Homo-oligomer: A and B are copies of this chain.
Amino acid sequence: MKRKITLKQIAKELDVSISTVSKALRNSIEISEDTREKVQAFAKLYNYRPNNIALSLKNRKTKTIGVIIPEIVHHFFSKVIKGIELLANTKGYNVIVGLSNESFDKEVLNMEMLANGSIDGFILSISKETLMKQDYHHFNETINQGMPIVMFDRVINDLNCDKVIVDDYEGSTKAVNFLIDKGCKSIGLITTMDYVSVGRLRTQGYISAIENQGAELNAELILKIDDSNTSEEQIDILESQIEQLFENNKNMDGVFAVNELYALIAMKVARKRGLKIPEDIQFIGFTDGVLSKHATPSLTTVSQHAQAMGEKAASLLINRLENEEDEEHFEKVIIETDLIERNSTK
């Protein structure tokens, strides 16, 4: 077991100075061709690679991006990571992942762990608990220390950082309008509580689509789920709430859900009640997960282009890291949504 070789060892072995070795390896013209070749041959033989940590210390940059997300077992987030990793890799960056588990404390802890020199910048999506507490001091402190942040999906507006979001509002109106075009007269909405900004925006999109149609808004048709405690076995509760929604709106012939799970459960309830999809009732979800694609019937959905979001976020961050120029001017990139038609709509 031979440990990795260092410049110092090469220098000693070849009886030259460390500086000479370093310069020779970097093909400096200061060094004679003879010495250069000798050093390079030796280095190659021993498979020399510069130590990253030493380089990081010297250059005061790590070429590493910190990513903090609420959850990784989640199609959307893992796809974003994929996008980040893909782009980061092409630019020679590594990606270090921290999970907040939707917890404020873990989010803060994770950021503190990474902000002490381990990374050059953050890409993150805010945890639900943080959104609820509205305590953003850790973001501000990080930014004030000169470490750039790029937020995606769950962002807060008045913060000095770049943001990448999906056009939730527009995506929702698109979906609801689509249902209306397909003949739906009574469209239900299954959404989250308002503190999750994406839930709020999607709700607003629904509302404006309905109102633009000249139809009056029926509060009975809107179901707001409290998913703050993310326990797996509240799925039963979810199902009974949706059951209730159907019970209260017997003539409901369309449902827009802000995520695919809600949509799937709703379809299940509809089926139980003997409704045919999409003949009697149509469904659209929001997100581009696997569930939608392989559900029966497959679910028409508003695609968020998660991977593109990740790539864009990484690209924004790396740009900011490598061009110090454009300080004080922050971008807010909006990723367009697409409506993917499948079999849950006519």
Contact = CB atoms under 8 A, between A and B. Distances in A.
Interface of A: 1-4, 47, 49-54, 56-57, 62, 64, 72-75, 78-79, 81-82, 85-86, 89, 94-99, 110, 112-118, 141, 144-146, 261, 264-265, 268, 271, 289-291, 294-296
A52 B295 CA distance: 47
Contacts of A261: 294
B85 A72 contact: yes
* Chain B CB within 10 Å, residue with most, of A54, A94, A146, A291: A94
A117 B72 contact: no
Contacts of A53: 53, 56-57, 62, 117-118
A296 B2 CA distance: 56
B2 A144 contact: yes
A57 B290 CA distance: 43
A294 B296 contact: no
Given A2-B145, A54-B117, A57-B57, A78 B82 contact: no
A46 B261 CA distance: 46
Given A52-B118, A78-B78, A114-B94, A144 B268 contact: no
> How many copies of this chain are found per oligomer?
2
A265 B296 CA distance: 11
The list of the 4 closest CB pairs from A to B, nearest first, reads A51-B117, A52-B117, A53-B117, A96-B96
A95 B110 CA distance: 11
A261 B62 CA distance: 40
Contacts of A64: 96, 118
A149 to B, nearest CB: 13
A167 B4 CA distance: 36
Nearest to A92: B113
A6 B192 CA distance: 45
* Chain B CB within 10 Å, residue with most, of A97, A144, A145: A97
Contacts of A113: 94
A270 to B, nearest CB: 12
